[in-house]
Amino acid sequence: MDLHRYHYAPHLGHKALSLLLLPLSYLYGAIATLKRLAPRILYGKQGRDFGLPIISVGNLIAGGSGKTPFIIALCKHFSSLEYGHIAVISRGYKRQSKGLVWVSKQGVVLASVATSGDEPYLIASALAGHNVSVLVCKNRAKAIEEAKAQGAKLVLLDDGLRFCFKKFDVILRPSFEPFYPRFIPSGLYRESYSLYRTLASSPHAIIAQENSDFTREVRLTNPSPKMFLISAIANPTRLLAFLPPILADFSAQDLALDSSLESSAHSVGKCRIIGSRFFPDHHHFSHREIHAILESYAPTSLLTTQKDATKLQDFADTLSIMELTLHIRPSVLRALQEYVDKRGF
């Protein structure tokens, strides 16, 4: 079954299946809500206090909504204002390591993408030379304590909404939302859709709406005449927001409803996309997979995202990369600065 179509453009059969899956969604929702609320019995409504400002950047749906570029933009903003040592903490999903790992320390990258996970490695690489460290650990509390012991003055927590910490939550709301406002598996929500309304009135949270509170700017590096699109991101329809004008004839239907585009070539000017292949989120590309594409389609380059490029370093000479810069609305930055100033400086 095409999961992208099921979640974003369902037909009648998908809608019937969604109803059948509702009991599982109710169970998932009950467990997710309990995990988020239960620790408050121990730490209270405000949560565990680590004695330094913590900004969590998260979302309600499974898959990306721009958390990684948002964190990079925040780090660059606070670094430019000389807020001191900043630590970014992430789980490091699908990394080939365990325990706590320093991906980078104060701007120096220390670990590989396999050890780090693709998103933490991208953050560390993008912030090389800044007074920013990146840590991965399943135990976020342990990582926060470690970062604080190493002199961190501000912590940015990747995907930390459910943690009962004293923090400020930034919830990213995508412009293109799932069709069903339901929990997994009937829908695509990890947390209740009603949290958008609840958190909007909280003094300790901001709902950041895409194309209003934050916008994306994309620059295509190394474009070539025959590009093959390859990516391993959640919900490939998000690529529509990434694609620059040179590729503007990609239609929403192409990416939303089809898992590949081998049947047709899309072109603008001297550049065209001759095919595509999408993999599961965080997939580690094998040499065999890439060589098969190169041999079958003979592209002049592989078109991919910055996140995917971290796992394609052995093919760097063949890559065309959609380099993303995220711009955050000044009012959002001011609210976060006020929080940090009150908490730690």
The CATH number of the domain holding residue 233 is: 3.40.50
Residues 113 and 159 both lie in one domain = yes
Residues 205 and 99 both lie in one domain = yes
Per the domain annotation, does 265 fall within a domain? yes
Residues 67 and 115 both lie in one domain = yes
Kindly write down the DSSP assignment for every residue of 172-226, as one continuous string: EE-SS--SS--BTTTSSBSS-TTHHHHHHT-TTEEEEEBTTTEEEEEEEES--SE
User: How many domains does the structure of the chain reveal?
Assistant: 2
Per the domain annotation, does 153 fall within a domain? yes
> Would the pLDDT of 168 be above 80?
yes
Residues 163 and 223 both lie in one domain = no
Residues 292 and 280 both lie in one domain = yes
Q: Tell me what the mean pLDDT of segment 80-84 comes to.
A: 92
Residues 305 and 281 both lie in one domain = yes
Contact assessment for residue 101 and residue 111, using Cβ atoms and an 8 Å cutoff: yes
> Would the pLDDT of 328 be above 90?
yes
> Would the pLDDT of 248 be above 80?
no
Per the domain annotation, does 22 fall within a domain? no
Q: Tell me what the mean pLDDT of segment 249-277 comes to.
A: 53
Antiparallel, parallel or unpaired: β 319-328 and 301-305: parallel
pLDDT band at 311 (very low <50, low <70, confident <90, very high): very high
Residues 55 and 149 both lie in one domain = yes
Query: 310, exposed or middle or buried, with CB in 10 Å at 0-12, 13-18, 19+?
Result: buried
Contacts 24+ apart (CB under 8 A), 20-23: 21/185, 21/186, 22/182, 22/186
From CA 135, how far away is CA 323, in angstroms rounded? 23
pLDDT band at 266 (very low <50, low <70, confident <90, very high): very low
Q: What are phi and psi of 184, to 5 degrees?
A: -60, 140
Residues 259 and 202 both lie in one domain = no
Peptide bond between residue 185 and the one before it cis (omega within 30 degrees of 0): yes
Per the domain annotation, does 4 fall within a domain? no
Per the domain annotation, does 29 fall within a domain? no
Per the domain annotation, does 18 fall within a domain? no
CA 234 to chain centre: 9
Residues 111 and 77 both lie in one domain = yes
Locate 56 and state its tokens. 């969590």
What percent of the chain stands above pLDDT 90?
Answer: 66
Per the domain annotation, does 57 fall within a domain? yes
Whole-prediction pTM: 0.88
Cite the annotated binding site for ATP by residue number. 61-68
Residues 6+ apart with CB under 8 A from 10: 18, 179, 180
Per the domain annotation, does 24 fall within a domain? no
pLDDT band at 264 (very low <50, low <70, confident <90, very high): very low
* Amino acid (1-letter code) at residue 303: L
Range with the poorest average pLDDT among 101-115, 160-174, 239-253? 239-253
Residues 139 and 155 both lie in one domain = yes
Residues 160 and 236 both lie in one domain = no
Give the tens place of pLDDT for each residue, 56-70: 999 999 877 889 999
Cite the annotated binding site by residue number. 61-68
- Report pLDDT for 250: 46
What angle in degrees, to the nearest 10, is found between the helix axes of 118-126 and 67-80? 30
Highest mean pLDDT among 36-50, 100-114, 331-345: 100-114
Residues 133 and 61 both lie in one domain = yes
- Report pLDDT for 120: 96
Range with the poorest average pLDDT among 48-62, 156-170, 208-222, 240-254? 240-254
pLDDT band at 338 (very low <50, low <70, confident <90, very high): very high
Q: What are phi and psi of 63, to 5 degrees?
A: 95, 175
Which residues span the domain enclosing 290?
Answer: 216-326
